[in-house]
Amino acid sequence: MLDEQWLPVIFVGLMGFSVLVYAILDGYDLGVGVLLPMRPDDEADRDTMIASIGPFWDANETWLVLAVGLMLIAFPAAYNLVFMHLYIPAALMLIGLILRGVSFDFRAKAAVDHKLAWDRCFKAGSLMTTLAQGYMLGQYVMGFEQSLPALLFCLLSALCVTAAYSYIGAAWLIMKTEAGLQRRSVTWASRCGRISFIGVVAVCLVNPLVNPDVFNRWFSFPLVMFALLIPVLCTLAFIVNDMLLKRLPKANDRHCWVPFVLVTTIFVLCFSALAFSFFPEIIPGQLDIWESASAPESLRFILIGAIIVVPVILIYTVFAYRVFHGKATELHYH
């Protein structure tokens, strides 16, 4: 029988894992949507870009549903508090996701003259979603504080998350496309990577300044000797990727997968930094995981379902990516 002190830790771990996988998987397909070129003569590139995410984009959102469902069931007090403050940006995010879904289907069924309009809707939905998610992250980090500095931080967070999603989206396109589009993707990745790095540095500077507890956690001795490895490794990944992008594409498409792996590593390190900054608080400065957790009996029952559902989703995800590996080809609708 699991100790009731460990049950909230297990569930917050599952929730955190779901959020991280969502940020990586849906992050790259949102980034591809943000990067869609809108000139009329770019139609072939747009088709290939959408084909590269076609088999995956809808299933990637499963991880968001799982994360929200885990919070609702395992941490209802935190769920109520989070969505009480984030009702409007969450609604905008859902509108963006709906717009993406509608545009994805209608772009292939509408008249040729209207295809560009639906592509613009897909791009707008992607931008709306990434900006809303970035804003919500900023609100969460600030503990839902309502002030001008908090608002400015949230806007900074919205831009940084959009740049980061574009970064991983461009890295995905380098891996999945060829020829001219791949070269454009290298340029996009280089630019978005530099913007993302500036954003990460800005957030790293602002977060400890506005949260004294975070500052104490990161810079208390001797933990600081290990904690600072995270920003060091993250900076190294940015530098190595920027150097590699200057040499891509290579003959025989060598190393085309490395940028995506490096950007994924950056995402994992940034997420680890956030977890280190706030754990065991589930709402910074307000609630920890034990205060907001459901009854131990409920958590034990729910854990049985999680043990079944999470591996099934993982297996399906791995299987789908295995089946549709390789370069993107023309997208067909049946």
Encode burial over 224-253: b for 16+ CB neighbours within 10 A, e otherwise.
eeebeebbeebbebbeebbebbeebbeeee
186, with CB counted inside 10 A (0-12, 13-18, 19+), is: buried
Give the whole-angstrom CA distance, residue 216 versus residue 222: 12
pLDDT computed for residue 223 by the predictor: 74
More confident residue, 202 or 233: 233
What is the distance between the alpha carbons of residues 257 and 174, in angstroms, rounded to a whole number? 7
Q: What is the average pLDDT across 217-244?
A: 86
Report CA-CA distances (Å) from 178 to 248, 252, 256.
Answer: 11, 11, 10
Q: Which of 110-114, 249-253, 284-288, 300-304 has the highest mean pLDDT?
A: 300-304
State the Cα–Cα distance between residues 110 and 73, nearest whole angstrom. Answer: 41
- Which domains can be identified in the chain, with CATH numbers? 7-323 (1.20.1630)
What is residue 203's predicted lDDT score, i.e. its pLDDT? 82
Q: Which two tokens stand for residue 144?
A: 């839902």
Q: For 50-94, give the DSSP string.
A: HHHHTTTHHHHTHHHHHHHHHHHHH-HHHHHHHHHHSHHHHHHHH
Q: What pLDDT, in 10s, does the model give residues 173-222?
A: 999 988 888 999 999 999 999 999 988 888 888 777 777 777 778 877 77
What residues pair up with 192 in beta bridges, in sequence order? none
Neighbours of 15 (CB within 10 A): 22
Whole-angstrom Cα distance, residue 181 to residue 256?
13
Q: Which of 79-83, 229-233, 307-311, 325-329 has the lowest mean pLDDT?
A: 325-329
pLDDT of residue 42: 80
Specify the pTM.
Answer: 0.91
Across the chain, the runs of DSSP E, i.e. the strands, are 281-283, 287-288
- What does the pLDDT read at residue 334? 42
